[in-house]
Amino acid sequence: MKKMTGKLTDSHCHLHMDHYQKDRRKVIERARREGIALMITIGIDLEDSQKALKLAEEEPDIFCTVGFHPHGAGRVTERDMEALEELAKGEKVIAIGETGLDYYRDLSPRETQRKVFMEQLELARSLGKPVVIHCRDAYRDLIRLMVEKRAQEVGGVIHCFSGDWEAAQTFLNMGFFLSFAGNITYPKAEKLREVFKKVPKDRLLMETDAPFLTPQEERGKRNEPAFIKYTYQLGSELKGIKLEDWIDQVNNNVHEAFPPTSQPPL
């Protein structure tokens, strides 16, 4: 695949994680060479979010989110939430998350997951920031909580969307963006690709979720932002849009979802 022209965005990755400890600088440089102009590195607990913010503050083209992933919800204390609120005030912090519900692995009690999610939703509301939401096998409960807590007033992104069209419509009606990752390239992801085709082009984001969910073309390797080119290529084909126009569209969507990214100091 030839190098893409335009400015690509990886709207959800974990560049600050230890998976990149030995070669993080090279990974970032490869992303830039592939035309990626903006990367958003996502926090999953307090210490991890601190690392995300540190990296974002060091790099002009990297922003971050801070939050508690549902896997670790059972370990979150009141003091942790207070510390997160202070961390979230950083200039390079563009959203709260990733937060949400994960009933697939159930690594934290479901009631606790729901409680911590609602607390972060309210934190986002109080700070005027959107949320980045993780959901796996929990769409019914997630939607119920979002409706109860008027999540449409907060806004944000459903990351690595893997639900059906009915769930997609519900999130879209709330004003949320849907983000798709490398798993959309997998041979067995036909249903997910059909959902992608139906989502309005101005409500879509592209992500790697690196180091996870490596696209089919690089399957078996550690994922990294540079590999988002494959997801962009497939996205343009599924939408029937010229690649350059698709890149521009996704850029506009990212800037609408996360306004502080609209003029990154490149």
103-150 pLDDT, tens digit per residue, is: 999 999 999 999 999 999 999 999 999 999 999 999 999 999 999 999
pLDDT attached to residue 262:
81
- What's the pTM? 0.96
- Tell me what the pLDDT averaged over the chain comes to: 96
Which is nearest to 76 in space by CA: 115, 106, 131, 132?
Answer: 115
Of 6 and 257, the structure prediction assigns the larger pLDDT to 257
- φ/ψ (deg, to 5) at 40: -115, 115
Place of tokens 């959107």: 130
Please say if the pLDDT value at position 233 is more than 60: yes
Rounded mean pLDDT, 25-52: 97
- Whether pLDDT at 265 is above 70: no
Q: Which of 170, 96, 87, 100 is nearest to 129 (CA)?
A: 96
The domains located in the chain, with CATH, are: 8-262 (3.20.20.140)
Q: What 3-state DSSP class applies to 12?
A: strand
Q: Is the peptide bond before 211 cis (omega within 30 degrees of 0)?
A: yes
Span 170-190, mean pLDDT?
98
So what's the pLDDT on residue 266?
43
**pLDDT surpasses 60 at 264:** no
Q: What is the pLDDT of residues 73-108, one digit of tens each?
A: 999 999 999 999 999 999 999 999 999 999 999 999
169 Cβ contact partners less than 8 Å away, ≥ 6 residues apart: none
pLDDT of residue 193: 99
Residue carrying the six token digits 């997910």: 192
Nearest in space to 67 (alpha carbons), one of 143, 109, 130: 130
Helix H or strand E segment including 134? strand 131-136
Residue 108 phi/psi, 5-degree rounding, is -130, 150
> What proportion of the chain, given as a percentage, has pLDDT over 70?
96
Whether residue 263 has pLDDT greater than 90: no
pLDDT surpasses 70 at 6: no
